[in-house]
Structure 1
Amino acid sequence: MKIDGRFWLSKNDKSFLGSGRIELLRHIEKTGSIHAAAKEMKMSYKAAWERINSMNELADEPIIERKIGGKGGGGTTLTPYAYELINTYDRLNELHRQFIERFAQAGENPERLAKILNRTFLTTSARNQIPSVIKEIKEVGINSLITMSIAGGGKITSSITSKSVKNMALGVSDDVYAIIKSSDIEISATPPAKNESLNILEGTIQNIKLSSQSVEVSLKVNELTSLILVVKESQIPSLKAGDKAYATIHPSNIIIGS
């Protein structure tokens, strides 16, 4: 058994946007023609036009522009509003996919699903809240090292007091959040020297945002997990979107949320 779900946007209690309609818009963008888009999707022109007309009736602005005649012949193009709809749908659909992925971690275990639901709505000011599963708990003096597998693959280790482990009733196989402040992550363009006392995660730069005082970097670690870190401009190496980079996190800077 697998947990799955479809994502639709409705308006005025009517279906507005779904994967099929977004695909149709993309084909219109590609071909410049409703007829050609319908052909690529193996559907009739009538069915394609009915979908476009239904979206137009619900939309706040027109989603297509039709050109008749002219030097290059007629055709159909998407309006700027249509591109906004596509981008909005893509962002929401990605969040929906991540939501379903978290549910899927429960398998056929309702109790585990309940725990995942509870931690889904965890509220914290930290920018990074990574769904994780505890793999090992090792006491080292008054502290405990908690090794976790993170969503999408990979592992990290947190260091918290053994008293906290007991108070939170943490155990192996528990679903938790690894919570990390964006200012507690260091970044480098080259692999740091191996150090068992540090977490080193390899990833790809998604984007870099500059401000007057700092730099915000999004590092994609895997398909399900990205890290947000904030550093001073003088602390960031020469990196750009698409580059490989390495995040370094001290175990004591990873908080456990459950």
Structure 2
Amino acid sequence: MSESEILLTLKRNQQLFADPRRIALLKQIDKTGSLSQAAKIVGVSYKTAWDAIHEMNQLSLHPLVNSMTGGKGGGGAQLTAYAVRFIQLYDLLTTIQHNAFNILSDDDAPLDNLLAATARLSLQTSARNQLYGTISDVISNTVYSQVIIMLNDQQTVIKVNVTRRSIDRLQLSKNKAVILLIKAPAVAISLTNSLSENSFKATIKQIRQDNIWSELDLSLSDDVVICATKLTQEFQALNLQLNQTVYINIHPENIIIATLV
């Protein structure tokens, strides 16, 4: 299966600022310290390379290349610290473009939610549960606050305790999209409803276990599945079975909120 070629082109003031060839030229200048050598490696004439760097320096907020001296045959050239960071940003944007195109083959990947799409593209965590939702309310106190989130299934509400400083730092407010990260051991399972915060009825959909640990997938709704782990000894004591209805509880302090700011 052939891969799609995605070329990132940046313009400033309606003029070409950066494209793959110009970025390759900058990278070779960084490696060789010579504009003429960089031009040869990239496969363009010295004049084309000089004109390209001159145009980029003119369009950039800060110079990209310093100390270009000499006539035909060139002289020494050195990237500025700003240019090094710009190349890193360009490479990052290129990676994001490729990843974004790849999620077209994932029918479950959301394309109408920037946070959810970004997380699907690149966010990997050790937390087994990664839930998407929108803040419905923020109850603020001087030191500790509570954030109330409606998950994307539009029926499951989860409460999260965070510090007031976290509220301000993450700019958490009503209608903001968030991701909730919950480690599987933080999900408690019982046969009766504890009637505490974040207590939900769930159905056991899958069980995986070994001699030490048991891992369960529990469905809260058609769109929300929570993973929980228990010691196999505890699992056997509860005599849990597939399709059994149980109750899960997640303490509000055992949930991490992530969002775009």
Q: TM-score under structure 2 normalisation?
A: 0.55
Q: 1:187 to 1:146 in 2, by over 3 A?
A: same
Q: In 2, are the aligned partners of 1:135 and 1:147 still within 8 Å (CA)? A: yes
SS of 2:108's equivalent in the other structure is: helix
Deviation at 1:189, TM superposition (A): 2.1
Partner of 1:245: 246
Deviation at 1:188, TM superposition (A): 1.2
Deviation at 1:140, TM superposition (A): 3.1
Q: 1:138 to 1:114 in 2, by over 3 A?
A: same
Q: C-alpha deviations, 1:141-176, integer Å up to 9, x for none?
A: 411100001121211000111101111112111111
> What code does the residue aligned with 1:145 have?
Q
Deviation at 1:235, TM superposition (A): 2.6
Matches within 5 A, 1:1-258: 96-99=106-109, 102-103=110-111, 106=112, 113-120=113-120, 121-152=122-153, 153-192=155-194, 194-195=195-196, 198-236=197-235, 237-258=238-259
Q: In 1, are the aligned partners of 2:212 and 2:233 still within 8 Å (CA)? A: no
Deviation at 1:183, TM superposition (A): 0.7
Larger radius of gyration: 2
Partner of 1:76: none
Q: Which runs of 5+ in 1 are unaligned?
A: 1-10, 14-94, 107-112
Q: C-alpha deviations, 1:119-158, integer Å up to 9, x for none?
A: 3332211000001111111113411100001121211000
Partner of 1:73: none
SS of 2:146's equivalent in the other structure is: strand
Q: C-alpha deviations, 1:155-209, integer Å up to 9, x for none?
A: 10001111011111121111111110001110012222x22xx211211101111
Deviation at 1:233, TM superposition (A): 2.2
Q: In 2, are the aligned partners of 1:189 and 1:238 still within 8 Å (CA)? A: no
Q: Which runs of 5+ in 2 are unaligned?
A: 4-104
* Structure 1: distance between partners of 2:221 and 2:106: 17
Q: In 1, are the aligned partners of 2:146 and 2:162 still within 8 Å (CA)? A: yes
* Structure 1: distance between partners of 2:257 and 2:215: 23
SS of 1:98's equivalent in the other structure is: coil
Q: C-alpha deviations, 1:8-37, integer Å up to 9, x for none?
A: xxx579xxxxxxxxxxxxxxxxxxxxxxxx
* Structure 2: distance between partners of 1:255 and 1:143: 14
Deviation at 1:97, TM superposition (A): 4.0
> What code does the residue aligned with 2:166 have?
S
* Structure 2: distance between partners of 1:96 and 1:203: 27
Q: 1:199 to 1:190 in 2, by over 3 A?
A: same
Q: In 2, are the aligned partners of 1:189 and 1:239 still within 8 Å (CA)? A: no
> What code does the residue aligned with 1:187 have?
I
* Structure 2: distance between partners of 1:150 and 1:133: 6
Q: 1:164 to 1:214 in 2, by over 3 A?
A: same
Partner of 1:50: none
Percent identical among aligned pairs is 22
SS of 2:140's equivalent in the other structure is: strand
Of 113-122 and 230-239, deviating more is: 113-122
